[in-house]
Amino acid sequence: MKPAAFEYLKPRDLPEAAAALGAEGSKLLGGGQSLGPMLNLRLARPSLLVDVSKLDSLRRIEETPDLWRIGGSVTHAQIEDRRGSLPGIEMMAEVAAGIAYRSVRNRGTIGGSLAHADPAADWPLALAVIDATVIASGKAGSRKIPADRFMIATFTTELKADEIIEAVEVPKLSASARTGYFKFCRKTGEFPEASAAIVLDGPRRVARLFIGALNGAPQSLPALAAAVAEKGMAAASKEAIVAALKAAAPELDAVGLRMHAGAVTRAISQAVGP
């Protein structure tokens, strides 16, 4: 199938994009990796596509003393290609490299992924566990939304209709921080059946453990994270992990529970294992 007819706008800057987004039937276009198929299947029928994928101001990766600011139209490939040169957030480059295939990563953007809010996607989980902040810009100005509260439910976020994800701010981890990220995929490059991520940053008093690929937003396992920060692998018994999973995601069936338990175990062992 082909998309229904639509107008196409390539704005020169963010204000022009925001103004165009106010029009009825308008929709942002990032890398088109999710929206493209939805247009072709006519699950989405916008009258105007506002293409922010080429906006220079949204394609930058910038460093400050405390954080990295990643523009909303930065592609997964741009982040992957910063392997070895993202001090404090190297985990992000590894996560990017594990998304789908290089052809998808060349076009798919971090902002498009967050806005699309697929529960199995990588960025909602990775940005939640690393305690990132989403910068949303609209007619009323810009506001900051914690990444772990940005996704409300499947394909639903905090973003208002006229808002654009301008950037994501990712705090730098200490040099001694340990991270783990693991996802179970049926085939390489496919969306996962279960995923888990952990960040332990003693000097910054951070212990965060989240699971993804659920029926909705990623969920936090705070007590297990704190126990692992204190006792290492000794806190990650099968019983402790299953109990934490049942509390965080009671909807998981027996298979989901086993797969997520496996993902949590692998993520923890990456961070604190031998």
Query: x/- string (CB under 6 A) for ligand FAD, residues 184-223?
Result: -------x--------------------------------
Q: Which is nearer to ligand FAD, 113 or 133 (CB)?
A: 113
The answer to whether 197 touches 181, Cβ cutoff 8 Å, is yes
Total interface residues for ligand FAD by CB under 6 A: 30
The answer to whether 207 touches 271, Cβ cutoff 8 Å, is no
The DSSP annotation for 233-263 comes to GGG--HHHHHHHHHHH-TT--HHHHHHHHHH
Q: Which is nearer to ligand FAD, 44 or 240 (CB)?
A: 44
Q: From CA 262, how far away is CA 66, in angstroms rounded?
A: 33
Minimum distance of ligand FAD from residue 152's CB (angstroms): 15
The answer to whether 9 touches 51, Cβ cutoff 8 Å, is yes
Report the site for ligand FAD in 131-190 (rule: CB under 6 A). Answer: 164-165
Per DSSP, the three-state class of 15 is helix
Query: x/- string (CB under 6 A) for ligand FAD, residues 62-91?
Result: ----------xx--x---------------
**For 134, phi and psi rounded to 5 degrees?**
-95, 130
Q: Does the protein bind ligand FAD through residue 92 (CB under 6 A)?
A: no
Candidate segments 61-69, 110-118, 222-230, 238-246, binder of ligand FAD by CB under 6 A: 110-118
Query: x/- string (CB under 6 A) for ligand FAD, residues 6-35?
Result: ---------------------xxxxxxxxx
Q: Which is nearer to ligand FAD, 164 or 241 (CB)?
A: 164
Q: From CA 25, how far away is CA 29, in angstroms rounded?
A: 13
